[in-house]
Structure 1
Amino acid sequence: MEKEYRLAKREDFSKVYRYGKSVANHQFVLYYLPQPKLEHFRFGVSVSKKVGNAVVRNRLRRMMKEIVRLNKERMAPHYDYILLARKPVVEMPYAEMEKSLWHVVRKASLLKKNDSSKK
């Protein structure tokens, strides 16, 4: 993920958690906060220690970031996003994880308006 698309600072994460809204399914929780001054979106990932050891958590983090990186044109701009992984995501193959992630984004109505492709 390119630097301008990253949400990295602790204060930014705290702001999204505190003032943002959330949407969830069984595998993911998506927190989002409008940022009208941004011309694109910023994206952060969080995976709890409850999900697995460091190897498992880092693998999930990489997969989640890659799904968003490959489809970043589908994401609505002017938002900060934080994606949390839940335990059931550990056993999921990549394709199912991708489908579940886009389900939670669609549930929050955060796909770009001109994106009509359903995955």
Structure 2
Amino acid sequence: MHRKLRLRKREDFNTVYRYGKSFANSQFVVYWRRRAKKGSFRMGVSASSKLGGAVVRNRLRRMVKEIVRLNAGKLLEDIDLILIVRKPALALAYKEMEGSILHVLRKAGLLIGSKPNPSGSRPASGRGNRPAQRKDK
């Protein structure tokens, strides 16, 4: 993936997490947000240390970036997206991983011609969406 197409700064990641939307399947979570700047999409990959050592995490990140690079023509432009790798992705072969990534991107409506699944949408922050508690007296 070309250097210009990567999310690299912490503030960029935090902006997408705070103001974006999220969709998930069992292997990946995608957070995304529209950008005001015109141009191609930018992507970041997050792999927790709970997945394994640096070798394992870096291999997963490389595979995810390569899958997105090869399918870049199918993605919408003017978006920032973050793909978070979950533990079940460790057991996937390359083709299965590609299918899972395309599934979560299609679910989010980020592939050209796809529409977001309204049942899977929620604000990315996840805070403040709880209904008020009733007080019974």
Larger Rg: 2
CA distance, structure 2, for counterparts of residue 46 and residue 11 of structure 1:
14
2:110 counterpart residue number:
110
CA distance, structure 2, for counterparts of residue 5 and residue 20 of structure 1:
18
CA distance, structure 2, for counterparts of residue 106 and residue 18 of structure 1:
22
CA-to-aligned-CA distance 1:17-50 (integer Å, 9 cap, x gap):
1111100000000000100313110000000011
Aligned AA (1:88) = P
1:20 counterpart residue number:
20
CA-to-aligned-CA distance 1:63-100 (integer Å, 9 cap, x gap):
00000011111111010000000000001100000000
Aligned residues: 114
1:4 counterpart residue number:
4
Identity of aligned residues (%): 57
1:52 matched to 2:52? The reply is yes
CA distance, structure 1, for counterparts of residue 26 and residue 103 of structure 2:
11
Shift of 1:59: 0.5
1:101 counterpart residue number:
101
CA distance, structure 2, for counterparts of residue 113 and residue 65 of structure 1:
22
CA distance, structure 2, for counterparts of residue 112 and residue 40 of structure 1:
13
CA distance, structure 2, for counterparts of residue 83 and residue 112 of structure 1:
18
Aligned AA (2:11) = E
1:86 matched to 2:89? The reply is no
CA distance, structure 2, for counterparts of residue 32 and residue 66 of structure 1:
19
TM-score (norm 1): 0.92
1:33 matched to 2:3? The reply is no
Corresponding residue SS for 2:39: coil
1:117 counterpart residue number:
none
Corresponding residue SS for 1:50: helix
Find runs of 4+ consecutive structure 1 residues off by over 2 angstroms. Answer: none
